[in-house]
């Protein structure tokens, strides 16, 4: 039975205990269940892995990390070693990432799983606040999508085509790629866990920001290329690598198959269509010739620079006499139209949510949370409001919970705006506005409901007066 199936069975049984699997290489991986809920996932090497992430991310120097590593070898918990060396927020974030990484490795491992029943669970990195079933399904889906990269050779080269701001997660990875172009080097130098790193790499390839260069692919014809993959041995007359694109029909159904050395899919049994211009079977006019908008998986891209646009601006004729209202504009008249000013464009998506707009929305929400915190503190004593806002954050729906990761409220109840913006930028551009609006609306509405139950009517009315009009400023 696969580790994931064994884990799922014990979740259904409501078991409390430890599931352990031994990979062919490396340390054993243990997943802890409490009444069927996934409580923790750890390996003996977790502390050293967290230290590596801190060094790669620049939070620790090499010499400092070496001293901490020596202390960790004699200490029981990485939290004790890192106490005072890094912020609590950063450590909690690394704990969460390591938990997800261990769980993904557990699911991937081939081997027999042993279960040890326990009455209680005592581990350092306990994770709560998630839906175990949704988390398991999410990680399994991610592993399927990362299959090609997980099988790729570490010598695979990556080349940056479009940069990103270095302050974002993917921007940091692009900076690492610029320093060491190999996939193996990126994984070793990445400030993120393996599966998170590969997820960002896959997204960057799909977006066309980087391409994966195969350093050795003798069986591939010169000049061929699957989307996002370049043949480094295909050179033109001037010695420059040729990067002609071929459609997914020529490359196979799997865009990564060419450099993984795996079959690209079953052979196509469809009848061959004649290319003779006068042949009865000539259907070339119906073939797909749009290779520019194709993405790695064969679907069409909705990148903003490829979207069709329709100009709705007013017509300003070069002629001295403007046309009558009922005059029909013929197709050839388009050459005499000046639409250089006042243009209004139609596109297939809503305007993108900029970082500035997102920060403004979060700041408005923070104003509301400060007033909620203040009202609760006045009613029940200092610290009550911060605890209430923290509970609101930790009980967010699974869909929006990642936005608040690492953005715990301060003593005034305000969340960390920069952290929420950074988390938001990891999501696809098209869904950012909807996701942020839903998250902020949810936390404010639940905050109002909680506060109304815990404070007096007079204080509630005073609070509402101080935040009047926040819906309009929030854009809900």
Residue showing tokens 């049994």: 269
Last residue of some domain: 123, 143, 163?
A: 143
pLDDT in tens, 158-214: 888 887 777 777 788 888 877 667 888 888 888 899 999 999 888 888 888 888 876
pLDDT in tens, 252-290: 333 323 233 333 333 334 333 334 444 444 444 444 444
Regarding whether 91 and 68 lie in a shared domain, the answer is yes
Regarding whether 167 and 130 lie in a shared domain, the answer is no
| Residue 282: per-residue pLDDT | 45
Distance CA 92, CA 95 (A): 5
| Residue 21: per-residue pLDDT | 93
Structural domain including 215 reads 148-260
Q: Which helix (H) or strand (E) is 230 found in, with range? A: strand 229-231
| Residue 117: per-residue pLDDT | 92
Last residue of some domain: 260, 283, 299?
A: 260
Regarding whether 135 and 13 lie in a shared domain, the answer is yes
Regarding whether 137 and 11 lie in a shared domain, the answer is yes
**How would residue 151 be classed by pLDDT, with cut points 50, 70 and 90?**
confident
Regarding whether 232 and 123 lie in a shared domain, the answer is no
pLDDT in tens, 449-465: 889 888 888 888 888 88
The answer as to whether 415 is a domain residue is yes
Last residue of some domain: 143, 165, 184?
A: 143
The answer as to whether 270 is a domain residue is no
Record the tokens describing residue 355, joined without a space: 């970082």
Closest by Cα among 133, 153, 141 to 199:
141
| Residue 399: per-residue pLDDT | 85
| Residue 303: per-residue pLDDT | 53
Regarding whether 436 and 383 lie in a shared domain, the answer is yes
The answer as to whether 282 is a domain residue is no
**How would residue 365 be classed by pLDDT, with cut points 50, 70 and 90?**
very high
The answer as to whether 269 is a domain residue is no
- Residues pairing with 42 in the sheet: 30
Regarding whether 212 and 101 lie in a shared domain, the answer is no
pLDDT in tens, 212-265: 876 654 433 333 333 333 333 333 333 323 333 333 333 333 332 323 333 333
pLDDT in tens, 372-390: 999 999 989 888 999 999 9
Regarding whether 83 and 126 lie in a shared domain, the answer is yes
Residue 239's SS3 state is coil
Regarding whether 376 and 406 lie in a shared domain, the answer is yes
The answer as to whether 280 is a domain residue is no
The answer as to whether 298 is a domain residue is no
Regarding whether 56 and 11 lie in a shared domain, the answer is yes
Mean pLDDT on 77-90: 83
The answer as to whether 46 is a domain residue is yes
3-state secondary structure 187-228: HHHCCCCHHHHHHHHHHHHHCCCEEEEECCCCCCCCCCCCCC
Residue 154's SS3 state is coil
Regarding whether 174 and 85 lie in a shared domain, the answer is no
Sign of CA dihedral 305, 310, 314, 316: positive
Tell me: pLDDT of 3 over 50.
Answer: yes
* Structure letter (DSSP) for residue 44: T
| Residue 158: per-residue pLDDT | 85
Domain count along the chain: 4
Regarding whether 67 and 24 lie in a shared domain, the answer is yes
Share of the chain above pLDDT 90, in %: 22
Q: Judge if pTM exceeds 0.75.
A: no
The answer as to whether 177 is a domain residue is yes
């Amino acid at each position: 039975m696969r580790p994931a199936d064994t884990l799922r069975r014990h979740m259904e049984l409501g078991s409390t205990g430890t599931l352990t699997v031994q990979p062919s290489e490396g340390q054993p991986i243990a997943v802890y269940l409490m009444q069927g809920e996934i409580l923790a996932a750890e390996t003996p090497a977790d502390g050293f892995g967290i230290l590596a992430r801190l060094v790669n991310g620049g939070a620790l120097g090499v010499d400092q990390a070496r001293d901490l590593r020596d202390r960790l070898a004699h200490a029981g918990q990485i939290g004790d070693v890192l106490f005072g060396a890094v912020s609590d927020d950063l450590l909690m974030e690394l704990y969460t990432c390591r938990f997800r990484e261990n769980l993904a490795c557990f699911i991937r491992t081939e081997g027999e799983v042993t279960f040890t029943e326990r009455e209680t669970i005592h581990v350092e990195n306990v994770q709560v606040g998630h839906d175990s079933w949704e988390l398991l399904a999410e990680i399994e889906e991610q592993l399927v999508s990362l299959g090609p990269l997980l099988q790729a050779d570490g010598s695979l080269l990556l080349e940056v085509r479009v940069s990103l701001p270095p302050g974002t997660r993917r921007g940091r990875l692009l900076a690492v790629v610029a320093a060491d172009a190999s996939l193996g080097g990126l994984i070793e130098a990445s400030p993120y866990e393996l599966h998170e790193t590969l997820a960002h790499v896959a997204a960057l390839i799909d977006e066309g920001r980087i391409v994966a260069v195969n350093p050795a692919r003798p069986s591939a014809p010169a000049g061929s290329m699957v989307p996002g993959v370049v043949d480094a041995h295909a050179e033109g007359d001037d010695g420059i690598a040729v990067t002609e694109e071929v459609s997914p029909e020529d490359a196979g159904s799997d865009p990564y198959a060419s450099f993984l050395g795996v079959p690209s899919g079953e052979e196509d049994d469809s009848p061959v269509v004649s290319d003779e211009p006068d042949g009865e079977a000539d259907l070339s006019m119906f073939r797909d010739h749009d290779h520019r908008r194709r993405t790695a998986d064969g679907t069409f891209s909705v990148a903003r620079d490829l979207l069709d646009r329709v100009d709705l601006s007013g017509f300003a004729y070069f002629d001295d006499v403007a046309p009558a209202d009922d005059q029909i504009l013929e197709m050839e008249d388009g050459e005499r139209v000046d639409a250089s000013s006042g243009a209004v464009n139609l596109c297939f998506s809503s305007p993108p949510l900029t970082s500035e707009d997102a920060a403004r929305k979060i700041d408005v929400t923070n104003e509301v949370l400060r007033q909620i915190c203040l009202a609760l503190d006045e009613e029940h004593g200092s610290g009550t409001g911060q605890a209430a806002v923290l509970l609101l954050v930790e009980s967010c729906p699974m869909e929006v919970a990642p936005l608040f990761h690492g953005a715990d409220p301060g003593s005034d109840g305000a969340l960390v705006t920069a952290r929420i913006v950074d988390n938001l930028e990891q999501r696809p551009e098209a869904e950012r506005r909807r996701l942020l609006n839903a998250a902020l609306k949810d936390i404010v509405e639940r905050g109002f409901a909680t506060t109304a139950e815990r404070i007096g009517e007079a204080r509630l009315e005073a609070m509402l007066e101080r935040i009047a009009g926040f819906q309009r400023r929030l854009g809900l």
